[in-house]
Amino acid sequence: MPHLLFLLLPLFVSAESSFITQEEYSTQLYHSPRGIGCHLCHGERGEGKIIAKYKHKNHLKDFKGSAINKLSYSEFYAALTQRHRGMPRYFLIEDEIKALYYYLEQKNKPKKKKKKHAKR
């Protein structure tokens, strides 16, 4: 009997892993991949945003999170797997990187215009 349960365990695990949609998963990951959400520095749509303003040698400067919404997948992958000044390391697996890229693609899709019906 214990052997039968061991053989059926993968079926239960895979059945439970599909309770969340790709949209929900990618949104949750973008907002909290490892504690600090991407949206805090890169904006809700990956458009980039100012994180802080500071003064350096009497000059006002901005510390910005770069725009990531127009990167190709290979550029996006490289950006997440290499060190960048000011960006935390997340140690994401490839499936997580794909989910984040999917999130940005969905957020930046052109909106479909509704057709107006002609008045009679």
pLDDT tens, residue by residue, 57-106: 999 999 999 999 999 999 999 999 998 888 888 899 999 999 999 999 99
For the whole model, what pTM was predicted? Answer: 0.73
CB contact at 8 A, 41 and 87: yes
CA separation, residue 86 to residues 15, 89, 102, 106 (Å): 39, 10, 24, 26
SS3 content of the chain, % helix, strand, coil (to 5): 45, 10, 45
Question: Quick check: 35 pLDDT over 90?
Answer: no
Determine the pLDDT at residue 10. 56
In the chain the beta strands, taken as DSSP E runs, fall at 49-56, 59-65
Q: How far apart are CA 44 and CA 108, in angstroms?
A: 10
